[in-house]
Structure 1
Amino acid sequence: MFALMIGVVLLGWLGLRVYREPRRIGNGVLLLIAAAFCVLGLIELDSESPVSIAVVLLLAASPLVLLILAGLLMMNGVQMWRREGRRPANLLSFGLGVAMLLPYALFIVAFELEWEWMTAVFGSVLLVECYLGFILLAFLVYSWVYLRLPYRRGMSAIVVHGSGLIGARVPPLLAARLDKALEVHAAETAAGRTPVLVTSGGKGSDEDVAEADAMADYVVGRGFPAEGVLREDRSATTRENLLYTAGMLAARGMSGPMVLVTSNFHALRTGILARRLGLDATVVGAETAFYYLPSAILREYVAILVEHRWTNALICAALAALPLLAMVAVRY
């Protein structure tokens, strides 16, 4: 019962945090902790209930789930390599699958051979892996929640972030963002607003034109008025998308909130970055082809870890030290 009370209190705190500022990865961490306490509380109340039994079975099967996930990631890596080209970034999911399996295998070998110190070392690696898995789960769950938060109308600008061209052609990933932006603009127009549409993206070394120009041509070709489009054609990163666009709008005397349109996997990190830059911005995400999601999500996840690198490094170091300290305490 006490655990359930803690869970309910944490959920209330989470609701307040999300209301005040939804663009925080910490909200996802708090959500998982609150959910864990609620589950423990439900098990305390009635360990014989179907829900409690299901939770226990899920926890018991978690090693198998990890093995299945590792296998799926490796299969996705092969699929990305075939469909999206032979680039290192497309092997991220394959590499993660291997990385997930290797510590378990080495830990089991060391334990069976009674190599005590090696068992402690691989135990340290597993604790770090569990922490990183927890953060990945928090990112995934809260990204799903963030994309479903109520959208507030009344935007002064709709900003579409570029994602790369094929020569001068808009590929499906970017087309989905532009179609979503047109959908948002139609909703704003129906509510009596006429926000400007900003296409944001510079020219890459392997592109024939600036992304902003190709994006503008795409929406104009679908009936959007050319005079309603602004082109930000200098940026090469999401940060530059935001900074250059904000500067361009300010130079034209345009103020007020903006909505940032990107892919669903990129929405939460875009929102976090906009908050850090002090921008009044809401983010909406366009749908992405399923096969593309694992590698894309992993890139976002790694970026989140890097942005909070010192906190993550400290926690990982503390966790890694625990099995080694336990071994020292037992042996000496």
Structure 2
Amino acid sequence: MTPFIAQLKRGPWRYLSDRDVLHAAVVTLAALVLSLGLVWVGYLIHVWRIAARSPLTLPQPMTVLVFGRRLVCDKPEADYQQRLGRALALMRAEQTDHVLLLGGRSGGQVSEAAAGRDWLLGHELPPGVTLRLEQASVDSLENLRHARSLLQEDGPVTRVLPPVALVTSRYHLARCLLLARRLGFDSVPVAAEPALVLSRRYLGRLLVESGYLMWIDLGVRWGQLIGHRRIVARMS
């Protein structure tokens, strides 16, 4: 599979044949036009606030979910390394002894989760830490769905999920937090980067993430309003 095709399969373009996703996109576009773009500004402010205010440590020990990112030559790139480094810091501070690495293949020979495990194993893990891999997902929603199944696999479906920390880049936290709460997680965000440093690149990422968040949130709210069970079920 070429890198271009792999990116299409992982990116938003893979949803263009999905009627429910397109339905949500039309509703979002209508809201954007009718509000003269102000609704996007509102989501951007929300994404920025979570990015700026999310902590680096945990209020109590809990399970850590580390979100993967597209690999470069089958190795974690800079953003992913920061996420892994934050998880490692939590392990060394004895704030977690259970880490779940999330991410399937993104066009290379290994999964994002496996590449993350290899990176961590090369950095002197503290003893007693359990590393688990979720390697079947291609986006953040699937990451969390599969993580939920893994955390429940030793008990009945009705088993209460443990509190989890969502470790990812600051620009990505708002979306992950929304999806996790929709899927029933008791979750807290933990930022990979020491602080939010705005640059042209980072502002672009915040804009893209606010667009994703707007699309997801408005789509689900619209589905609930009109009683469209299939749209709502996609986020549960």
Which TM-score bucket, shorter chain as reference?
Answer: 0.5 to 0.7
- 2:146 is aligned to 244
Deviation at 1:207? 1.4
C-alpha distance 169-275 of structure 1, shift in aligned 2 (>3 A): same
Question: Residue 51 of structure 2 contacts residue 191 of structure 2 at CA under 8 Å; is this kept in 1?
Answer: no
2:178 to 272, 294, 304: 272
Mind listing any 5+ residue stretches in structure 1 that lack a counterpart?
A: 1-86, 89-124, 314-332
- Residues 242/134 of structure 1: CA separation in 2 closer, same or farther (3 Å cut): closer
Aligned to 1:133: 41
**SS across alignment from 2:36:** helix
Contact in 2 for aligned 1:167/1:209 (Cα 8 Å) = no
Q: Does 1:152 align with 2:53?
A: no
Amino acid at match of 2:190: V
1:304 aligns with 2:213: yes
Aligned equivalent of 2:190: 284
How big is each residue's C-alpha offset from its partner over 1:268-307, in whole Å with a ceiling of 9 and x where there is no partner? 2111111111112212111277453122111211112112
Cα deviation, 1:37-62, whole Å, max 9, x if unaligned, reads: xxxxxxxxxxxxxxxxxxxxxxxxxx
Sort the Cα spacing of 1:226 and 1:168 in 2 relative to 1 into closer, same or farther, 3 A. Answer: farther
What secondary structure, in the 3-state scheme, does the structure 2 residue paired with 1:160 have? strand
The TM-score normalised by the length of structure 2 is 0.67
Deviation at 1:130, TM superposition (A): 4.1
Equivalent residue number for residue 209 of structure 1:
110
Q: Given the superposition, is the C-alpha separation of residues 151 and 308 from structure 1 closer, same or farther in structure 2, using an over 3 Å criterion?
A: same
Structure label with greater radius of gyration: 1
Matches within 5 A, 1:184-195: 184-187=90-93, 189=94, 194-195=96-97
Determine if contact 1:220/1:226 at 8 Å carries over to the other structure. no
- Specify the SS of the correspondent of 1:198: strand
Distance 1:166 1:141, change over 3 A: same
Which TM-score applies when normalising by structure 1? Answer: 0.49
Aligned counterpart, 1:173: 79
Q: Give 3-state SS (helix, strand or coil) of 1:212's partner.
A: helix
**Aligned residue for 1:222?**
123
Aligned length in residues: 185
1:266–1:285: 8 Å Cα contact kept in structure 2? no
Task: Write the deviation string for residues 144-195 of structure 1: whole angstroms up to 9, x where unpaired.
Answer: 23x149842121x2111101101211111100000001112222x1xxx652
Say whether the 8 Å CA contact 1:201–1:210 is kept in structure 2.
Answer: yes
Letter in 1 for 2:151: L
One-letter code of the match for 2:49?
Answer: V
Match of 2:162, SS state, is coil
Give the superposition deviation at 1:128.
0.6
Residue pair 1:265, 1:285 contacting (<8 A) in 2 also = no
Q: Secondary structure at the match of 1:158?
A: strand
Q: 1:247 to 1:222 in 2, by over 3 A?
A: same
Contact 2:50 2:170 in 1 (8 A): no
For structure 2, the 5+ residue unaligned runs are 1-6, 9-32, 223-236
Dislocated runs of 4+, deviation >6 Å: none
Bigger relative contact order, structure 1 or 2 (CA pairs below 8 A, ≥6 apart): 2
RMSD: 3.2
* Bigger fraction of residues in helix: 1
- Name the CA distance, whole Å, in 2 between partners of 1:292 and 1:301: 14
Q: Which amino acid aligns with 2:207?
A: L
Aligned counterpart for 2:102 among listed residues 200, 209, 215: 200
Deviation string, structure 1 residues 92-144 (Cα, Å, up to 9, x no partner): xxxxxxxxxxxxxxxxxxxxxxxxxxxxxxxxx79613453344234323542
Give the % identical residues: 27
Report the secondary structure of 2:110's partner residue: coil
